[in-house]
Amino acid sequence: MSTILFELGCEELPPKSLKPLRDALQASVIAQLTEADITFDSIKAFAAPRRLALQIQGISDKQPDRSEQKRGPAIKAAFDAEGNLSKALRGSVSSNIPFENSQVLENFFRDSKDEKSNRNFKELIDKINKQGYKEVLEELNQKSISFLTKYGIKISVSGTSKGSYISFEQTIQGQATTELLPAIFQTALDNLPIAKRMRSGASRNEFVRPVQWAVLMQDSAVIDATIQGHQTANQTRGHRFHSPNYHEIAHAGNYEQLLDGLKVVADFDKRQMLIKNQVKALADEVNADAIVPQDLLDEVTALVDFPIALRASFEPRFLQVPQEALISTMQADQKYFCLTDKAGKLQPYFIFITNIESKDPNQIIEGNEKVVRPRLADAEFFFLQDQKQPLFALTESLKTRVFQDKLGTIWEKSERIAKLAAFIAALMQQQGQQIDIDETVRAGILSKADLASSLVGEYPELQGIAGTYYARLNNEPEAVAASLEEQYLPKFSGDVLPQTPIGICLALADRLDTLVGIFAIDQAPTGSKDPFSLRRSAIGILRILIEKQLPINLVALVEQAIKGYSDAEGSKIEKMGDTFTQVMAFLNSRYRAMYTEQGVSVDTIQAVQAINPHMPLDFDQRIRAVQAFSELSQASMLADSNKRVANILAKSEVSVADTVDEALLSESAEQSLYASVLQAQMAVKPLLEQADYTQVLQTLASLDEPLTQFFDNVMVNSEDAALKNNRLALLKQVRALFLTVADISELQL
């Protein structure tokens, strides 16, 4: 057992790719070592701006020897009538056994003509022919035919129910680990997820950045190899500024310790923890909390070898600018960590990470303050410039800005959003929610106004946020102002939903309008292409209606959205019926993606989709009911019974009646089932009115025993047509009871 060290030194690697490259390198090497049957105790990956490395502890010195067995010809075809090797056996030996040279093969064929060997082999064959392979197989394998023993190859007789045959077995010596490692590491590098590779100088080797050096060691010895065009050695380089020269690695196990002394924290996770601890300490000094998004933290960690955190400040006057704009520019452009007070309000400080241990940190702080000041001033300028006119005035320029060539301007979209949002608000009012329809219309008209602002023009990620700030400055109602930001929620999977009633209306209206319009012009998503993010929008619609407990029918929403494209001049949608059908199908198809992400089984989703509910909240309640039903002991039998009932009814050649003639129920099992059905119908009626689907299925579980007895004792397809039709009617009622919730026959329990 030994320690292996591999390091690839490069020019600075792309910071956003460093962590994925590290993980992919480690995963590939582990997979290849496992496939090669090379064991190891542990593997540790390192990633810093100028290096990717792996340290493998307790690795085996070689692959284990393995036996390779190949099937030869049948016993009967192994020798000819004279007792010589048949062509079949000679050909099998030649093709299946990797002899070192032709002379060995010639020796084998010469030896195989030895009279004694042939006689012994023929005796074994005669014994098999007389007694059968089963009786003598163990004896044969113990003795083993000895033709090739001298060549390290074992020939034995194996048998199956179809007869006996000759099998060849050879021991393959395992390769030394050091012989395999160069190819393993090179393959791992070749398979890294690099979008665009480059070549350096005259070299034909490609990598994400020019390679400067390569290390490959076993303990204290160098493993001679060429990786990425570089001869492996035992020398690495330290920090670009503090320790730029090459340094010898005495032992593969000392790698991390050596680099620590050279001002390189090679462990990505350790380096990241140092950054987090330093940032927190500096934030605590001013009683603030640091905003540390994981993506930004990963990027900053990838930019430095030896992290030093410093705190700087900016003029408090900039705090009048929307803090989202300040945070955006400091994070995206400067890679700074912003500070807020305990209430989340931005403070005039920021923390940055430097890669140099300076003797005069104040100079670095002053330099960063000087750099960030004009960026904050730009944001301030745009914010003040926008305030020279009210938010509503910005809508004028939307009349010339195109939303989509065939769907009109952004202003026209705003008008459609306002009408559809008002329609949704009216539905919410009917359900007892407090919402002002006039304010909803006002919010719809203003919903896209900030797209014409200078601030959003410079910081597109502030759309909606800027509108909320400007609406409050213009003394718009708070419900209107808050909704302008909320209309874009949720922005991604798992994101928060809009909280205010008007925000909910705008979020639904905006997504529905886009969905209907894009489908109407035949630009629906295809494959992985979804330029208008319609899949995400559809799931957003479903999530809002479900999680906000809104019993609103999708049919009504889609129909109203389609109507929004009509005016006095006609409709922008030529095929309204086709558009409606396609949009509804698309929304229904999103249930599967949404629920599988939550861990719901596909068959549960299909069971509910089979009855095609049009209300997402109702759909969700049915999903939860079927999930609970699946846990019942009777669920499996009832699912099978429903399949059987569905098949019987599908094969019926006559129309099955809805009612059962009790007088024709001649068998006690069908009488019992009918009584249970009547009882279940009465029990589930009030439950269905309350949409208590879970309790409905719990109640229907009582049909387990009556259904079992029915199928065990009653012939459905009776020769008496009246009896047959009556029994089909009874099964139809059973089926109808379950279909009030879902198609249980779809369950795979």
* Per-residue pLDDT at 580 exceeds 90: yes
Query: How many whole angstroms separate alpha carbon 595 and alpha carbon 493?
Result: 12
pLDDT of residue 172: 73
pLDDT of residue 651: 86
* Per-residue pLDDT at 316 exceeds 60: yes
**CB count, 10 Å around CB of 531?**
8
For 680-692, what is the mean pLDDT?
Answer: 93
pLDDT of residue 120: 52
- Alpha helices by DSSP H, listed for 8-159, are 15-35, 87-96, 102-111, 115-131, 133-143
- For residue 746 the two structure tokens come to 């779809």
Query: How many whole angstroms separate alpha carbon 715 and alpha carbon 699?
Result: 26
* Per-residue pLDDT at 99 exceeds 50: no
- Alpha helices by DSSP H, listed for 598-615, are 602-609
* Per-residue pLDDT at 115 exceeds 60: no
* Per-residue pLDDT at 136 exceeds 50: no
- For residue 94 the two structure tokens come to 């030649």
Query: How many whole angstroms separate alpha carbon 640 and alpha carbon 357?
Result: 72
* Per-residue pLDDT at 90 exceeds 80: no
Query: How many whole angstroms separate alpha carbon 555 and alpha carbon 612?
Result: 12
pLDDT of residue 168: 67
Which amino acid is it at 137? L
* Per-residue pLDDT at 143 exceeds 80: no
Mean pLDDT over the full length of the chain:
88
**Which of 662, 655, 689 is closest to 678 using CA atoms?**
662
Q: Tell me: the pLDDT tens digits for 444-479? A: 999 999 999 999 999 999 999 999 999 999 999 999
Query: How many whole angstroms separate alpha carbon 165 and alpha carbon 75?
Result: 5
pLDDT of residue 218: 95
Out of 260-264, 384-388, 666-670, least confident range = 666-670
> What whole-number percentage of the chain has pLDDT above 90?
71
pLDDT tier, 658 (very low <50, low <70, confident <90, very high otherwise): confident
For 669-680, what is the mean pLDDT?
Answer: 92
Q: 615-628 burial string, b = 16+ CB within 10 Å, else e?
A: bbbbbbbbbebbee
* Per-residue pLDDT at 547 exceeds 60: yes
pLDDT of residue 446: 97
> What whole-number percentage of the chain has pLDDT above 70?
87
pLDDT tier, 116 (very low <50, low <70, confident <90, very high otherwise): very low
Helix 391-398, helix 410-430: angle, nearest 10? 120
Q: List residues bridging with 731 in a β-sheet.
A: none
pLDDT of residue 323: 95
Q: Rounded to the nearest 5°, which phi and psi values hold at 548?
A: -90, 5
* Per-residue pLDDT at 748 exceeds 70: yes
Q: Tell me: the pLDDT tens digits for 321-362? A: 999 999 999 999 899 999 999 999 999 999 999 999 999 999
Query: How many whole angstroms separate alpha carbon 14 and alpha carbon 302?
Result: 8
- Please tell me which residue, 182 or 94, carries the higher pLDDT value: 182
pLDDT of residue 101: 40
Q: Tell me: the pLDDT tens digits for 593-637? A: 999 999 999 999 999 999 999 999 999 999 999 999 999 999 999
Q: Tell me: the pLDDT tens digits for 161-214? A: 566 666 766 677 778 899 999 999 999 999 999 988 988 777 788 999 999 999
pLDDT of residue 299: 97
pLDDT of residue 127: 56
**Which of 57, 59, 56, 52 is closest to 7 using CA atoms?**
52
Q: Rounded to the nearest 5°, which phi and psi values hold at 526?
A: -130, 130
Q: Tell me: the pLDDT tens digits for 363-401? A: 999 999 999 999 999 999 999 999 999 999 999 999 999
pLDDT of residue 104: 45
pLDDT tier, 146 (very low <50, low <70, confident <90, very high otherwise): very low
Measured torsion, CA atoms of residues 406, 407, 408, 414, in degrees rounded to the nearest 10: -170
For 656-670, what is the mean pLDDT?
Answer: 89
The answer to whether 62 and 174 have CB atoms below 8 angstroms apart is: yes
| Local structure of residue 317 (DSSP, 8 states) | G
* Per-residue pLDDT at 703 exceeds 70: yes
For 409-429, what is the mean pLDDT?
Answer: 96
For 718-738, what is the mean pLDDT?
Answer: 90
pLDDT of residue 528: 82
pLDDT tier, 84 (very low <50, low <70, confident <90, very high otherwise): low
